[in-house]
Amino acid sequence: MAESPAGEIRHRAAVIGSPVSHSLSPVLHRAAYAGLGLDDWTYERRETDSEALSALLAELAAPVQAGPAWAGLSVTMPHKQTLLARLDVIDPLAEAVGAVNTVVAQRSGAGSALLAGFNTDVAGIVGALRETARTQAPDCPGARLRIEQAVVLGSGATACSALAALGELRAGRITVVARRHAGPGRALSAAHRMGLDIETLTWKPSDSASNTEAARRLAAADVVISTLPAHAADPLADPLRQALDQAEGTRPGAVMLDVVYAPWPTAVAGAWAHAGGALAPGWLMLLHQAVPQVQLMTGQQPDIELMRTALLAALAPTCASTAVSSETSS
């Protein structure tokens, strides 16, 4: 890459959504750029509601006139599913999942860009689960995560990615626990596209019997992936604690991934950990999804440990406060 004058920014990227003020994606991407020596790259937060999305995509695809060229976007709520119909090319995985969390502006020279959509949330979930499982068996680094039973909490965009991740991990029985299952953009539709055979359990958080049954499913799982926003799964905490007490703990090697990263732990994650289950926090998924995202935008492999260090430093004050954060949708 040709060197640019000191201080000149030639490439730009951003995280978009509404709201994005809480997003930690800038921390991860900037750390990656620093480690790669990409001093002419910048990454920002871009508050973008549905009305502003068209103008932003046009800006992204426009020929480069002056100033930095757009490299791509990280995508969070509420655009992960609506972008599918508005991009030029969709990666097969993102199409099967039904959600895009990465847009790359593919251009030749200074001409107009082709906007391509990708999904790295699947890689984030797989990476977080595998890393957590490895920490539980340090003497067997090559051991495969064995999933006879898995439960996904939620039925939105991130739940669709969770199903794809469980398919990659060769999970056996998969149950989706959610308040709603029918309709476009739901996990049930994604399961059909991916050829996954899943069970569904309709959950009513205000009903004690429903909470008890949902908690029973969680307690019997090898892997639980909660894609719900902070506090949404709180009604399951006490029933889960009771179910795990009756079962005398979680299954051997069981892992829960909760996409929330502040406040941490969530009530349901605390109940899981109390019974001896391993926890994969939401920030670990965020880290693992950002690595391929940076690679797609820059064409270079970033240093995950530099990114981890920067993320944990940024999270330290956040987790100590009452902020509620997640960069996924349920």
Tell me which residues are annotated as active site: 80
User: With the C-alpha atoms ordered 97, 98, 103, 106, is the resulting torsion angle positive or negative?
Assistant: positive
- Neighbour order of strands in the sheet with 114-118: 41-47, 11-17, 69-75, 102-106, 114-118, 89-90
**What is the distance between the alpha carbons of residues 218 and 177, in angstroms, rounded to a whole number?**
9
Residues contacting residue 301 through CB under 8 Å, at least 6 positions apart: 291, 295
- Neighbour order of strands in the sheet with 278-280: 198-202, 173-178, 149-153, 223-226, 255-258, 278-280
**What is the distance between the alpha carbons of residues 283 and 312, in angstroms, rounded to a whole number?**
8
Quick one: the chain helix, strand, coil %, rounded to 5?
A: 40, 20, 40
Q: Is 160 helix (H, G, I), strand (E, B) or coil?
A: helix
Confirm if 203 and 239 have CB atoms less than 8 A apart: no
Measured in residues, the chain has a length of 330
Look up tokens 């609506």; give the residue: 82
Q: Is 134 exposed, middle or buried (0-12, 13-18, 19+ CB in 10 A)?
A: middle
**What is the distance between the alpha carbons of residues 197 and 230, in angstroms, rounded to a whole number?**
28
Task: Output phi, psi for 324, to 5 deg.
Answer: -115, 115
Task: Output phi, psi for 287, to 5 deg.
Answer: -65, -50
**What is the distance between the alpha carbons of residues 200 and 178, in angstroms, rounded to a whole number?**
8
**What is the distance between the alpha carbons of residues 257 and 267, in angstroms, rounded to a whole number?**
13
